[in-house]
Every structure is written in structure tokens, then in C-alpha cells.
Amino acid sequence: MKKIALLAALFAVLSCGPAAKTDPVTPDPTKPDPTPATPVTPVTPEEPSVTVPAFAKGVDISWVTEMEKKNYKFYTASGTEKECTALMKELGANAVRYRVWVNPTDGWCNKADVLVKAKRAQDLGLAIMIDFHYSDSWADPSKQNPPVAWKNMKVDEMATALAAHTKDVLQALKEAKVDVAWVQVGNETNTGMCLPVGAVSKDDVSGFVKLANAGYDAVKSVYPNALVITHHSNAHDLTKNKWFYTLIVNGGAKFDMIGLSLYPSYWDNKLNDYPDWTNYCNAALSNFQQLHTQYSKPVMLVEFGMPASKPDKAKAAMQFLLDGVKDFDWFKGIFYWEPEAEHGRNGYDYGAFSNGKSTGVIDLFK
């Protein structure tokens, strides 16, 4: 009996060894899988996001990279060197504006340059406006030259090129995770843009409307929530502004916001001085209200400037405007144009800096 018991025990030990290798079981397609795979949630690329301020306290600092290349520095009130964009935020700005040129000869304000500047602003949490000039250089009331590459185009071909340029720049910004709150389709387009194709006249605005709407649709295809601005100068001149906006609205132009410029104290050779700013600023405040009422659009002062050599008058004018619009929820902000510029650095007399330091005007944004 002991031998039988020993054999039984030995058999039991051997039976606990490694299990025999078996072939994998092929699932029966007619039966549901008892252990379904966990669903995979698709990964959505992160959307750039900066809170858009209810009131933009803005600065156009498009010259900044060019000034840096020339080794110009910027300083806090105490004399500490600081990068210009960060300094503007410290002074109270919550938004920046950058101009875009199509193919500038020196490269400044092209797509690559704008991308460098916009990334800085995005990282600082500043809201961004992109200002398309649709030119290789300055576009303003005195000149609206199309880019050299477009100069022989007819209106349909130019509209296609304008839309492609707009998308190209904005898509590059979006892929770099830069948010864009506002986009100007044209800069100070009093007489139109890309003349003569996009001219505005009492007889015909069809070319302008075609170009403007191509730009509008291009903006919305990349940044659906960005507000598109149509820009006219002379915020103090209601007659000229109503002439322009009535023509383009009746012509079918698409835009979300009225953008205006105001430089209330340009040098007057007859006076041999800078004239008093109060008349222009008073007129502008009245016009903001009338333009908003007539066209049912929000309004923004996308360019403002005063003589840098008269900082007390500049501060008074800025404070006057800030106080005058504070109760208008449809008035969306003020952008000081190139405050970091100085006559000795850029040859520009209407900035708000001296020797690399703020004269105090931008500090009113705090």
C-alpha cells in the first residue's frame, strides 16, 4: 500500500508542472467579443486661446524686431532693460497689432517676421490684431499699391491671390498655436486697396468689395471667431467716413467692425507748432457714436498717436479719449501706433518713448 501511495504522490507532483502549450483560440465571428477593446478618443490638436479683452488697450509695435536688429534697447522706468513686448504688458497694454506686407524688399513685416513677434505676444497672453496691407510696403490714404507680384492681375485673379496670402499667413500663425482676435482686411482703405483694381469711388466699389470679401472669407476659414475690421483714417471727419462706409455697405462688403485712425495734433507749418488736439478728439468721440448707430457695428480706434515731444499733451489727449468712451460697450479699444518709436531711432515723431523709456502715455492703460 505504501508503494501505491508513493506512486500516487509522485504522479500528483508531476501533474503540477508546466502546462502543455496550446494553440490560440480563434474568436467565433458569430458571437460578440466578450472583452471589447477600449474605445480610443481621437486627439484634437490644441487650439490657441487668449482671452479677448472687452476693451483693448493696444499697441502697434511692428517695428520692434527691426529696432532690435539695430541694437536699440528698451527700459523700465528704473532703467532695467526689458524686451519691448513684455515691457508694453508691464506698462498696461493687453493687446498688440502687427502689420503684414506681402513681399517686402528687406523682409521686415513679412510672414516670418510677424510670426516671431506674434509668438512673443501669445506667450505673454496678449490679444493679437493682424493688419494686412496687401502691399509690399506701406498702404495708407496716399498710396494703395498692390504687391509687385499682383500688379498685372485682373480683379478675380487678384481676389484669389489676396485670399491665398491671407490664409497662408494666418494658417502659419495658427499652426504655431497663436491666437488672433482681430484682422484688418486692408489698411486705411479710404480710397480702396490694391489700386486701381480695388478702388472705392462713388461710381464703383465692385472691385473693392470683391477683394474685401475674399479677405473676409479667408480670415473666417482659419479663425472663425476673429473679428474682421475695415479701416478708414480721419476719425474726426464724419463726412468722409460716412461716404466710405455707406458706399461699401451698399455694395455688399462684409466686415464685423469699424476701425479708425486719429492723429489729432500733426505738425502745422503755418503755426510752426503742433495744433491743439481737443477739436479733433471731441469730433472723434461724437463720430464714434454716430458711426456705430448708423452701421450697427462695434467701433475701435486702431491707430492713435500724439507728438512724443509733448508727453503732457499726449497723456491729456489719451486720457480724454479713455474717459470719453468708457461707458460705450460697443467701443472696443484704442491702439497706440508704434509707441516704442522715437525720432532719433525711426525718424518718427508720434511715438511715446524717449531714450528707450516710456513717456507715460502707455502707462495710462494700467
Q: Give catalytic residues, as residue numbers.
A: 188, 303
Q: How far apart are CA 31 and CA 280, in angstroms?
A: 82
* Lookup: cell for 19: 502546462
* Lookup: cell for 331: 467701443
Q: How far apart are CA 285 and CA 325, in angstroms?
A: 7
E runs forming strands in 233-287: 257-262
User: Of 353, 357, 351, 354, nearest to 81 (Cα)?
Assistant: 357
Is residue 231 a contact partner of residue 189, using CB atoms and an 8 Å limit? Answer: yes
User: Of 347, 333, 345, 340, nearest to 361 (Cα)?
Assistant: 340
Angle between helix 238-250 and 206-222 (nearest 10): 80
Strands 198-199 and 192-193: antiparallel
Say whether 260 sits in a helix, a strand or coil: strand
Say whether 17 sits in a helix, a strand or coil: coil
